[in-house]
């Protein structure tokens, strides 16, 4: 029995040790990737449901480790948040976005009106965050109207009063506010009236089964009618099929985002054909 106990113990301790060392390695690799500026951005188009035109793009970070394997943001963003590395990473990404805004948003024949950026709760809570944003906009000569900040519903709910103050400051800067993953948190629709919100992004979870799930459908309809009253733009996330796109458009969603219209990738400008011929 004694021997079995020892074996059992060593079995579990090995797993725990493995987990801890894997986590430590991820953290070290992430720290190095940030220090050496290895994390890049892929952009996903957001389209107007009526005209099917691209209106803006969402910036999503991408990390390929030393072996060239993609590490998903769902894996490393939580680690970046726990270690507060997200502050530096976030600023780095925002700087890259500003460079791209100069080319793809602020230039003539630009393909996009705005770029949206995911901002984590840790960043919002860090003193000096908005000061850094302001400085970046100034040094890069970026019009704040070219930016949207995506904040998740759950991140705002941890300290609603503080969140409200930060959101007002973001708005005062001229940056629009989108609520990400809407519907997955605990908040009620009523807080939308109190909070400065420009865009609501309905989570993919509600879009997925829209054709079969009556509750999801009713939920989206309720959000859309509420948003119309409050003059908030509604984006549906994770649109993968034409059927979903048609249903969401019929329900009154303003914008659509998903693999149907484009996976995250490089930005492209809408250059007129003549300009393309000249440069060729
Ligand atoms: P999110 O902000 O909700 O981003 C949307 C996610 O859905 C992206 O995953 C995107 O690639 C994926 N997606 C888009 N269309 C479809 C579709 O039609 N079907 C399916 N199945 N998926 C679709 P990604 O890039 O892996 O990002 C995951 C999450 O990581 C993001 O969710 C966001 O919470 C976080 N994240 C990504 N980039 C950043 C960043 O720069 N900063 C912060 N703070 N978080 C980020
Ligand atoms: Ca987002
Ligand atoms: Ca989302
Ligand atoms: Ca999400």
How confident is the model at residue 270, as a pLDDT? 76
Task: Please say if the pLDDT value at position 275 is more than 80.
Answer: no
How confident is the model at residue 170, as a pLDDT? 98
Task: Please say if the pLDDT value at position 1 is more than 60.
Answer: no
Residue 103 neighbours by CB distance under 10 Å: 13
Per-residue pLDDT band for 37 (boundaries 50, 70, 90) equals very high
Which tens digit of pLDDT belongs to each residue from 259-272? 999 999 999 887 55
CA of 114 to the centre of ligand 4 (A): 20
How confident is the model at residue 137, as a pLDDT? 97
Task: Please say if the pLDDT value at position 4 is more than 80.
Answer: no
d(CA 93, CA 116): 12
d(CA 43, CA 59): 5
What's this model's pTM, rounded to 2 decimal places? 0.92
Is ipTM beyond 0.95?
yes
How confident is the model at residue 276, as a pLDDT? 47
d(CA 193, CA 173): 20
Report the nearest atom of ligand 1 relative to the CA of 74. 30
| Residue from 92, 94, 118, 120 to probe ligand 1 pocket by mutation (most atoms less than 8 Å from CB) | 118
Query: What length is written for the chain?
Result: 280
Protein residue with its CA nearest to atom 25 in ligand 1: 60
How confident is the model at residue 2, as a pLDDT? 46
Is-contact 49 254, C-beta < 8 A?
Answer: yes
Is-contact 223 234, C-beta < 8 A?
Answer: yes
Quote the tokens at residue 84.
């507060």
CA of 58 to the centre of ligand 1 (A): 9
CA of 151 to the centre of ligand 3 (A): 9
Cα separation values, 240 from 18, 44, 265, Å: 38, 13, 16
How confident is the model at residue 233, as a pLDDT? 98
Quote the tokens at residue 27.
């953290």
**Strand spans (E) along 38-87:** 40-48, 54-64, 70-71
Nearest to 64 by CA among 55, 73, 56: 73
Task: Please say if the pLDDT value at position 6 is more than 70.
Answer: no
CA of 182 to the centre of ligand 4 (A): 9
Task: Please say if the pLDDT value at position 3 is more than 60.
Answer: no
How confident is the model at residue 190, as a pLDDT? 73
Q: Angle 240-244-246 (CA atoms, 0-180°, nearest 5)?
A: 125
Q: Which position has the higher pLDDT, 64 or 191?
A: 64
Quote the tokens at residue 235.
């984006």
Protein residue with its CA nearest to atom 19 in ligand 1: 238
Exposure of 51 by Cβ count < 10 A (0-12 exposed, 13-18 middle, 19+ buried)? Answer: exposed
d(CA 181, CA 46): 15
Which tens digit of pLDDT belongs to each residue from 197-246? 999 999 999 999 998 999 999 999 999 999 999 999 999 999 999 999 99
Which tens digit of pLDDT belongs to each residue from 234-249? 999 999 999 999 999 9
CA of 179 to the centre of ligand 3 (A): 8
Report the nearest atom of ligand 1 relative to the CA of 152. 34
Which sign, positive or negative, has the C-alpha torsion 142, 145, 147, 153?
A: positive
Task: Please say if the pLDDT value at position 76 is more than 70.
Answer: yes
Which tens digit of pLDDT belongs to each residue from 136-168? 999 999 999 999 999 998 888 888 888 899 999
User: Please, which residues have CB within 8 angstroms of residue 120's CB and are 6 or more apart in sequence?
Assistant: 77, 80, 81, 86, 90, 155
Helix (H, G, I), strand (E, B) or coil at 229: helix
Task: Please say if the pLDDT value at position 10 is more than 70.
Answer: no
Task: Please say if the pLDDT value at position 49 is more than 90.
Answer: yes
Question: Which ligand has the nearest atom to the CA of 257?
Answer: 1
Helix (H, G, I), strand (E, B) or coil at 226: helix
């Amino acid at each position: 029995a004694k021997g079995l106990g020892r074996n059992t113990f060593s079995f579990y301790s090995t797993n725990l040790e493995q987990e801890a060392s894997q986590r430590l390695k991820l953290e070290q690799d992430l720290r190095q990737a940030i220090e050496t500026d290895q994390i890049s951005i892929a952009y996903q188009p957001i389209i107007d449901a009526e005209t099917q035109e691209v209106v803006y793009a969402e910036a999503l970070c991408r990390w390929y480790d030393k072996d060239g394997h993609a590490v998903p943001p769902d894996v490393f963003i939580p680690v970046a948040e726990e270690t507060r590395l997200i502050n530096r990473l976030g600023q780095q990404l925002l700087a890259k976005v500003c460079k791209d805004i100069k080319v793809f948003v602020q230039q003539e024949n630009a393909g996009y009106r705005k770029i949206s950026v995911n901002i984590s709760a840790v960043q919002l809570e860090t003193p000096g965050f908005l000061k850094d944003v302001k400085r970046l906009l100034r040094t890069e000569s970026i019009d704040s109207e070219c930016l949207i900040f995506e904040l998740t519903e759950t991140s705002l709910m941890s300290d609603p009063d503080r969140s409200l103050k930060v959101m007002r400051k973001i708005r005062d800067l001229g940056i629009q506010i989108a609520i990400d993953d809407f519907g997955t948190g605990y908040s009620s629709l009523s807080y939308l009236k109190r909070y400065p919100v420009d865009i609501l992004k309905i989570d993919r979870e509600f879009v997925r089964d829209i054709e079969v799930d009556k509750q999801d459908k009713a939920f989206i309809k309720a959000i859309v009618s509420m948003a119309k009253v409050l003059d908030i733009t509604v984006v549906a996330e994770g649109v993968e099929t034409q059927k979903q796109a048609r249903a969401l458009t019929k329900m009154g969603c303003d914008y659509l985002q998903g693999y149907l219209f484009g996976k995250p990738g490089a930005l492209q400008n809408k250059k007129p054909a003549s300009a393309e011929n000249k440069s060729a």
